[in-house]
Amino acid sequence: MATERRTESPRGFDLSYGEVTGALGDSVTVLPIVVALGALTPVSLAHVLAGFGVFQVVWGLRYRLPVSVEPMKALAGLAIGGALTYGELVAAGLLAGATLLAVGASGTLATVERYVGRSVVRGIQFAVALILLEAGVGLAVDAPAVGAAGLVLATAVALVDSRSAALAVLGVGVAWTVLATGLPPVRPPTPALFPAGGPRLTGDALAGTAGQLAMTVGNAAVATSLLFSDLFDAEVASDDLATSMGAMSLVAVPLGALPMCHGSGGLAGKHAFGARTGAANLVIGALYLLAAPVAGLWLGFPMALLGALLVVVAAQLGQVALAARSPLAVGIGVLGLLTNVGLAFAVGVVAYHASERWR
């Protein structure tokens, strides 16, 4: 895979300016999805932000590298798009966590990756991008002038720095909310089991789990392991990453946080913003923990602007998914939008292996 130039970066902690700016690399992915979930689902934003804060610190201390901590995008995208209820999101997160823990502990991740195929992973990513796009357009059309203004802002910022487009829209939305409703009361999250609702195991939850595991294996275990080697000259086994993602989700989800992963995009973002050590995780972890008690700030986010934000996130995810120019990935994505990601995943795996035999 094409990567940036390798950086000699011994594991440790270095509270330099680069670590502070690099800490924001994850937030490019995390905050837009978290705000959308808070606005469109029963998720408790305070518990979600606290979960991100705690595990940023945990994995920064564990790996001593700027490891990413992001939402599992397939499950989050399906919940935002209405394809999963909150209870189904919780059940799928627990299933994904248990599976990743088992696969990582048994050292069988490489076998799973060979079975799934990279084009299937990209296809699921494209399906999630299309679902987010559909949801975003649906929200933006209710106030088209506001939605269009958000897209114009995102486009202008993207011409300077494409990574910051979503954050620009997010920042304007937060400012709008503060001006309209004022600052929210300070309410720290109360420790509780399943504070926003318990798991609900259904066929859709199982389908969402299958799609998420396809993305996680390729994009948040194998790709992240390779990126650690390419960018930081550090060896972090993909099985170790799978184990930590599984354990993290099994602990976080019952406490009201989201199922989380170590996405390669977040790692690349931290590196691009200057992070080189685990200190970046300590910085962003502290910021998330400080934000958790005022999570109500995002509950009044303008819906049309949220639609524009989701369109931007969908475009960024779709760009990654289509980078390989795989017709199979496009077909899987469209099928996932028209039916569900579980069926698209199953059809994609069969089609992938059939195409490999015909070569």
Q: What is the 3-state secondary structure (H, E, C) of 81-125?
A: CCCCCHHHHHHHHHHHHHHHHHHHHHCCHHHHHHHHCHHHHHHHH
Entry pTM: 0.85
In which residue ranges of the chain is pLDDT below 70? 1-13, 359
Please tell me the predicted confidence (pLDDT) of residue 12: 63
Let me know: does 84 contact 336? Beta carbons within 8 Å.
Answer: no
Q: What is the pLDDT of residue 286?
A: 95
Torsional class of 12: left (φ above 0), alpha (ψ -120 to 50), beta (otherwise) = left
Q: Which of 278, 324, 271, 279 is nearest to 5 (CA)?
A: 271
Q: How many CB atoms lie within 10 A of CB 144?
A: 11
- List, for residues 191-222, the tens digit of each pLDDT value: 999 999 999 999 999 999 998 998 888 777 88
Q: What is the rounded CA–CA span in Å between residue 210 and residue 344?
A: 10
283-331 residue pLDDT tens: 999 999 999 999 988 878 889 999 998 998 888 888 877 887 889 999 9
Q: How far, in Å, CA of 117 to CA of 350, rounded?
A: 10
* pLDDT reported for residue 8: 45
Residue 261 DSSP SS3: strand
Contact 324, 119 (CB under 8 A): yes
Angle between helices 109-116 and 203-217 (to 10 degrees): 100
Closest CA to 49 of 252, 194, 221, 243: 252
Unique residue bearing structure tokens 């948040």: 220
Residue 104 CA to residue 183 CA, distance in Å, equals 43
DSSP state of 180: H
Domain assignments of the chain as residue spans, ordered by start? 17-185+195-358
Q: What is the pLDDT of residues 257-269, one digit of tens each?
A: 999 999 887 888 8
Helices (H), the chain: 17-22, 27-40, 45-63, 73-80, 86-106, 109-116, 118-140, 144-160, 165-181, 203-217, 223-232, 238-252, 264-272, 279-291, 303-321, 327-338, 341-358
Q: Which of 321, 323, 305 is nearest to 166 (CA)?
A: 305
